[in-house]
Amino acid sequence: LAFSVAQQPANTVEAGAPLTYTLRYTNTGNASATQIVVTATFDSFAPFSSATPNPTGGAGDVRYWEIDVITGVNNYGVNGVGEIIIQTDVTLPLTNGTSLSFTAQLEDAEGDFLEDTAQITVTSAPILSIDKNDGVSTVYAGDILTYTITYTNSGNENAYNVVITDTLPVSHTQYITCEISGGTCQHVPASNEVVFHIPAIIAPTSGQAQLVLQVDDPLPSGANLVTNRATMTHPPSLSAPIDVQDVDLIGTLPDLTINAVHNPSIFSPGKLMNYTVIYGNVEHMHAKDVVITTTLPSGTIYEGYGWTSSDGQTYTYAIGDLLAGNTGNTITFTVRYSGSEPQEINASEFNTIFTIAEGGSAGGDANPGDNSSNAYIGVPDLAVLDFTVEPLTLEPNAPVTFTILIENQGTGMAWNPDNGGGFWVDIFTATVDSYPYERDGEFYGGSPPIAPGDTHTLVIAHAGFTKQQIQGIEEFYTKVDNHPQATYGLVPESNEMNNIGGPVSPSPSNYDIYLPLVQKNRGQ
């Protein structure tokens, strides 16, 4: 009898890999061997998995096979031969260099006892990796960031005493807490790090650690990224540390706001125009080197303070740094409107735009739509739509009613810009110029302010005229905004030449009403 053990692979095997033993027996004698028992003893790190043929019995690390006979050499020169093929799986994980032993024995009824052994060395190593993610790509002031650090050993040997060092962002965040299962974590403020110590990463498994930070609120101007880096070190298996990082874009930006108004909404020629500019930063990021810019309104002269200009047209006001949440700040921009005659006759409306912005190094604004404000100043235009006199036949000392329909055809409130009040409407019994002021009417009434596009019906009641006065009246005229304060009256208008209504002739005969009538050249 001959009996041998062969193994595949022959010299080394990886932890977790299959290991095959082939038991071969032969009988080259001239007599048969009977009642054979083959016994196999397995290493505890390479336990029995399967065999061909199946074992007769056994359990645990021992299996046996019963063979009735192994024939000797017959008349044809053929001897008895057979094999048992055994499959095992090497345990995972195993320490690199572990030695595995296998022993097989053959016994028969004739008293033969044969034994063979096999030895093989296990090769294994940890294969470590690390990943880090906070689940977001954009962060905002005040956000809570929870970073999940996943560490994995995909090798076939355990890794002991692994260290993960998390280098916190240099700025823009604050440390909250850390946590790891099966290890420890420690915040080290002096080095701005969090150190995770993992006693063992069993192969092949993964584990997780968590790090919680909070984004600063407010954020400094120009802050654009939150970068968090983690480094895994394990000198026995890693020739160099493994670095991973998570980079988030900061979505928070300053939101500069500006609102410019002019009060009153119209002005008097020759007087000051005061623009009130209200500005602020309503978002959660500071703004740096903030500047407000405007252009000098046409036909005006700058008379304020704090604003600078290199060309006499574009003016800037340096705010400097504007902290997050700092709102309701106020500055003024003061100019004087020219009082020359062309502007008195045809006052202009104004669209004065004020803008607010950071310096050139800034990263933008959360809402560019509120970075400018148009301080619009509309200008009224009073016109007489209708002028009637009742009754037309004048009787001595009989009451007379004058009805004037006035419309504001302009873009601004028709009022006295000096006090917000209304204006006067005069009745004349002789022709009068629309511009400039000549004289007061024979009598008058007051009109309240009229908004753009609105009309107002003014009724002026007169107690009556004497017979002598009636004999001297040929026509009635009315003039709106007639006042000696200025050549244009009380209300600056875009057109001062259409403020006359009439004539209305008080006689029994037919009469016509001409509206409006502009008296430009008296006597012609």
- Looking at per-residue confidence, does 205 or 267 come out higher? 205
In this prediction, residue 75 carries a pLDDT of 63
Sheet of 2-8: strands edge to edge? 2-8, 18-27, 80-89, 48-52
Whether the pLDDT of residue 354 is over 50: the answer is yes
Q: What is the mean pLDDT of residues 99-115?
A: 97
In this prediction, residue 360 carries a pLDDT of 66
In this prediction, residue 419 carries a pLDDT of 87
CA 475 → CA 395, 472, 497, 511, 521, distances in Å?
A: 15, 9, 20, 10, 18
Structure confidence at residue 343 as a pLDDT band (50, 70, 90) = low
DSSP class per residue in 75-137: TTSPPEEEEEEEEEE--SS--TT-EEEEEEEEE-TTS-EEEEEEEEEEE----EEEEEE-S-S
State whether residue 197 is helix, strand or coil.
strand
CA 227 → CA 134, 137, 218, 241, 254, distances in Å?
A: 11, 11, 18, 18, 21
Place of tokens 């009898």: 1
In this prediction, residue 516 carries a pLDDT of 45
Q: Which CATH number fits domain 128-250: 3.10.20.30, 2.60.40.740, 2.40.10.480, 3.40.50.2000?
A: 2.60.40.740
- Which part of the chain has CATH 2.60.40.10? 382-504
Q: Measured between alpha carbons, how far is 445 from 159 in angstroms, rounded to an integer?
A: 102
| Number of helical H runs and strand E runs in the chain | 2, 35
Structure confidence at residue 44 as a pLDDT band (50, 70, 90) = very high
Digit-coded pLDDT (tens) for 391-429: 999 999 999 999 999 999 999 899 998 888 999 999 999
pTM: 0.75
Q: Measured between alpha carbons, how far is 448 from 465 in angstroms, rounded to an integer?
A: 27
Q: Measured between alpha carbons, how far is 268 from 41 in angstroms, rounded to an integer?
A: 114
Whether the pLDDT of residue 515 is over 70: the answer is no
Structure confidence at residue 342 as a pLDDT band (50, 70, 90) = very low
Which of the 8 DSSP states describes residue 219? B
- Looking at per-residue confidence, does 351 or 509 come out higher? 351
Averaged pLDDT score across all residues of the chain:
92
Structure confidence at residue 49 as a pLDDT band (50, 70, 90) = very high
256-377 — its CATH code? 2.60.40.290
- Looking at per-residue confidence, does 459 or 182 come out higher? 459
In this prediction, residue 519 carries a pLDDT of 40
2-123 — its CATH code? 2.60.40.1530
| 3-state helix vs strand vs coil in the chain, percent to 5 | 5, 50, 45
Q: Which CATH number fits domain 382-504: 3.40.50.720, 3.30.1200.10, 2.60.40.10, 3.40.50.2000?
A: 2.60.40.10
Q: What is the mean pLDDT of residues 153-164?
A: 97
Structure confidence at residue 352 as a pLDDT band (50, 70, 90) = very high
In this prediction, residue 249 carries a pLDDT of 96
In this prediction, residue 269 carries a pLDDT of 75
Bridge partner list, 503: none
- Which part of the chain has CATH 2.60.40.1530? 2-123
Q: Which residues of 229-264 are buried (b: 16+ CB within 10 A; e: fewer)?
A: bbbbebeebeeeebebebebebebbbbbbbbbebeb
Whether the pLDDT of residue 286 is over 50: the answer is yes
In this prediction, residue 270 carries a pLDDT of 79
Q: What is the pairing mode between strands 128-133 and 184-188?
A: unpaired
What stretch of H or E contains 195?
A: strand 193-201
Peptide bond into 269 cis (omega under 30): no
Tell me which residue of 21, 16, 17, 58 sits closest to 37, measured CA to CA.
58
Q: How far apart, in Å, do the first and last CA atoms of the chain sit?
A: 153
- Which part of the chain has CATH 2.60.40.740? 128-250
Q: What is the mean pLDDT of residues 329-354?
A: 79
Whether the pLDDT of residue 54 is over 80: the answer is yes
In this prediction, residue 362 carries a pLDDT of 61
Least confident of 29-43, 270-284, 360-374, 410-424: 360-374
Residue 290 burial by Cβ neighbours in a 10 Å radius (0-12, 13-18, 19+): buried
CB atoms closer than 10 angstroms to residue 493: 28
